[in-house]
Amino acid sequence: MPQDGIEESLGLVGWSFTDEGVGGLLKVRVEDFRVEEVSRVPALDPKGRFTVARVTLTNWETNRFLNRLSKQCGISRNRIFASGLKDKRAVTTQILVIDANIKKVESVEIPDCDLEILGRSHQKVGMSDHDGNRFTITVRGCCFPDGKPMDGKEALLRVTRIREGLSESLGADVFPNWIGPQRFGANRPVTPLVGMAVIQDDYESAVDLYLGMPGGRASEETHNFRKKWRETRDPSSCLEIIPGHLGYEREMLRHLDKKPEDWLGSFKTLPNSLQLLMIHSLQSLAFNHTLSNRISSGMSIIDPEIGDIVAPTKSNGRIDVSKMALVSKSNINRCIRNCRLGRLSVTGPLPGRDSTPALGKPGEAESKAIIDTQLESLNWRVKRIPRLSTSGTRRPLAVPFTDFSVEEATDIPESSEKSKRWEENPLDGDRWHPDGASLRLSFTLPPGTYATVLMREFMRSPLDHF
């Protein structure tokens, strides 16, 4: 995927409401992006097997933290259960269920981690078991498309205008449910390419891509490491220069250093959840391109057409995929009415070996997405890692956001640690200005929905600004 045209490659193209947005950068400070899981604490019982904890992390990617936690508790990573993976450059709060003694968990000492023991339980938590996520996000450096700084009054007016425009086109506080750039890697969209290699049983290519694919805005040491791998494919020499933060790559190289040419074994050093993410990101391409195709062709993503597949909407905004139904001439009026009432959702494909496509005009949008992303010939079976095989499912094309508020944010304190990008001047093609206004937005989203996608609606900045 070329750096130019990443949006098109990932299917993140199109708008339900046309506007220039406020521009700006996210995550200038770690504290500018906060997310708190909205979830019920598992039923507590002093005799329970598991330890339940509420953990607040600062600038930790979830998988890396769970690996660190498992080592300190002396247990396998697979014995720690969470219902969601959170962003790294953020302050995040979520519930963990840990298959370890309370005293072991209490003794954990990990930097930038506040771990509160809630008790013991017989219950685990599974992926997306939570009810939603509450976000508080600050966008800084708002500016006009020509690069001139935008003041707070104008930025607030634009956010209000976009919110009203989305409501007019989609319904009150609803937005397109794109799968966000972090699923793919906004600056290095490598995960769908690795996923394709895994589905094709080509683990040499999978490892080669993960280690060597270049990315935009990489540090010099990261750029040099990936370049050296592409040129030499020598694990030993690459280990000598690998940057400290590339822990997953280091484990892959160490495996190859001990067992040359064992590409499957090298790939399997990645956390199980990250291996699965590779497959999910490949499915996500089909969904995003379907959503883009519908918007560009003028099709509604709220009102179903004959041939669409709809699903009941749960109270937390997710859909019940066990009760999906095909829209036909006999039920279309009822389906439209229930979609407008929020009881049903029009869905798009996350393809797999047993997935059922839409028909008619909606089916054409899906078929075009599958062909455009070169997924039409895949059987979605992963022979050598069967747990990565997928039968496919569907995802709502639009989702609600609730508890929305926006206000001007304070300036950054001089003592605060700021992102390297903020410390530098804007580059050609950037959409932010250091003298532009800062806004703080708060909202709640259903699980599995991307805050950066809603922020994209308001900002209209390039993907690498998120």
Does the residue 7 lie in any domain? Answer: no
Residues 310 and 203 in one domain: no
Q: Which of 368, 399, 430 is the last residue of a domain?
A: 399
Query: For 84-116, how does the pLDDT look when each residue is reduced to its tens digit (9 = 90+)?
Result: 878 788 999 999 999 999 999 999 999 999 999
Give the confidence band of 1 by pLDDT, cuts at 50, 70, 90. very low
Residues 203 and 56 in one domain: no
Which ranges in 373-423 belong to alpha helices (H)?
420-423
Q: What is the amino acid identity at position 236?
A: S
The strand ranges marked E within 72-140 are: 80-82, 91-98, 113-121, 132-140
Residues 264 and 350 in one domain: no
Half-sphere exposure of 202 (CA within 13 A, CB side): 11
Structure confidence at residue 185 (pLDDT): 80
Residues 411 and 348 in one domain: no
Query: For 414-452, how does the pLDDT look when each residue is reduced to its tens digit (9 = 90+)?
Result: 888 899 899 988 998 899 999 999 999 999 999 889 999
pTM of the shown model: 0.91
Query: For 127-148, how does the pLDDT look when each residue is reduced to its tens digit (9 = 90+)?
Result: 777 889 999 999 999 999 999 9
Residues 23 and 69 in one domain: no
Residue 374 CA to residue 351 CA, distance in Å, equals 12
Q: What percent of the chain has pLDDT over 90?
A: 82
Give the confidence band of 4 by pLDDT, cuts at 50, 70, 90. low
Q: Which of 363, 378, 399 is the last residue of a domain?
A: 399
Residue 218 CA to residue 187 CA, distance in Å, equals 8
Residue 246 CA to residue 194 CA, distance in Å, equals 17
Give the confidence band of 186 by pLDDT, cuts at 50, 70, 90. low
Distances (CA, A) of 142 to 72, 199, 272: 42, 42, 39
Residues 213 and 348 in one domain: no
Half-sphere exposure of 394 (CA within 13 A, CB side): 30
Structure confidence at residue 5 (pLDDT): 80
Does the residue 249 lie in any domain? Answer: yes
Question: Does residue 3 surpass a pLDDT of 70?
Answer: no
Tokens of 154: 């104008």
Residue 311 CA to residue 359 CA, distance in Å, equals 15
Residues 256 and 289 in one domain: no
Residues 147 and 295 in one domain: no
Query: For 25-68, how does the pLDDT look when each residue is reduced to its tens digit (9 = 90+)?
Result: 999 999 999 999 998 899 999 999 999 999 999 999 888 899 99
Does the residue 460 lie in any domain? Answer: yes
Domain residue limits at 101: 40-121
Question: Does residue 381 surpass a pLDDT of 80?
Answer: yes
Residues 48 and 19 in one domain: no
Does the residue 9 lie in any domain? Answer: no
Q: Please, which residues have CB within 8 angstroms of residue 102's CB and are 6 or more apart in sequence? A: 51, 117, 120
CATH code of the domain covering residue 61 = 3.30.70.3160
Residue 466 CA to residue 446 CA, distance in Å, equals 20
Q: What percent of the chain has pLDDT over 70?
A: 99
Residues 211 and 284 in one domain: no
Does the residue 184 lie in any domain? Answer: no
Tokens of 231: 């040129």
- DSSP 8-state class, residue 44: B
Per-residue pLDDT, averaged over 281-290, amounts to 97
Chain mean pLDDT for the chain? 94
Q: Which of 271, 289, 309 is the last residue of a domain?
A: 271
Does the residue 1 lie in any domain? Answer: no
Question: Does residue 2 surpass a pLDDT of 50?
Answer: no
| 393-396 sheet: strands from edge to edge | 325-326, 309-312, 344-350, 393-396
Tokens of 99: 């298959």
- Count structural domains, the chain: 4
Pairing state between β 398-400 and 174-176: antiparallel
User: Residue 394, SS3?
Assistant: strand
Does the residue 91 lie in any domain? Answer: yes
Structure confidence at residue 262 (pLDDT): 98
Does the residue 258 lie in any domain? Answer: yes
Residues 284 and 379 in one domain: yes
Catalytic residues: 87
Residues 202 and 152 in one domain: no
CATH code of the domain covering residue 322 = 3.30.2350.20
